Amino acid sequence: MKWTRISSRLPAAVVAALLVLPVTVATKHALATDTMRMHTPDDQTDQLVAGSATPQLIARQFKFTEGPAVDRQGNVFFTDQPNNTIWQYDTNGKLSLFMADAGRANGMYFDAKGHLLACADENNQLWSINPENKKVKVLVKDFGGKRLNGPNDVWAHPKTGGIYFTDPYYQRDYWKRNSPDMVGQKVFYLAPGQSQPVVVDDQLRKPNGIIGTPDGRYLYVADIDGNKTYRYQFGPDGRLTDKQLFAEMGSDGMTLDEKGNVYLTGNGVTVYSAAGQKLAHFDVPEKWTGNICFAGKDRNMLFITASEGIYKLPMRVKGAY
Q: Residue 9: what pLDDT?
A: 39
Cα(33)–Cα(40) distance, rounded to whole angstroms?
18
- Which of 228-232, 257-261, 279-283, 292-296 is predicted least confidently? 279-283
Q: For residue 185, which phi and psi values (nearest 5 degrees)?
A: -125, 125
Cα(23)–Cα(186) distance, rounded to whole angstroms?
38
pTM of the predicted structure, to 2 decimals: 0.88
Q: What is the pLDDT of residues 30-49, one digit of tens each?
A: 323 332 333 444 558 999 99
**Residue 185 host element (H or E):** none
Q: Residue 36: what pLDDT?
A: 32
Structural domain boundaries in the chain: 23-314
Q: What is the pLDDT of residues 233-243, one digit of tens each?
A: 999 899 999 99
Q: Residue 53: what pLDDT?
A: 75
How buried is residue 58: exposed, middle or buried, by Cβ count under 10 Å (0-12/13-18/19+)?
Answer: middle
Q: What is the pLDDT of residues 90-114, one digit of tens each?
A: 999 999 999 999 999 999 999 999 9
DSSP state of 60: -
Cα(164)–Cα(55) distance, rounded to whole angstroms?
30
Cα(274)–Cα(123) distance, rounded to whole angstroms?
36
Q: What is the pLDDT of residues 123-169, one digit of tens each?
A: 999 999 999 999 999 999 999 999 999 999 999 999 999 999 999 99
For domain 23-314, give the fold.
Neuraminidase (2.120.10)
Q: Residue 87: what pLDDT?
A: 98
**Residue closest to 303 by CA, chosen among 2, 78, 71:** 78
Q: Within a 10 A sphere around the Cβ of 17, how many other Cβ atoms? A: 12
Q: Within a 10 A sphere around the Cβ of 279, how many other Cβ atoms? A: 20
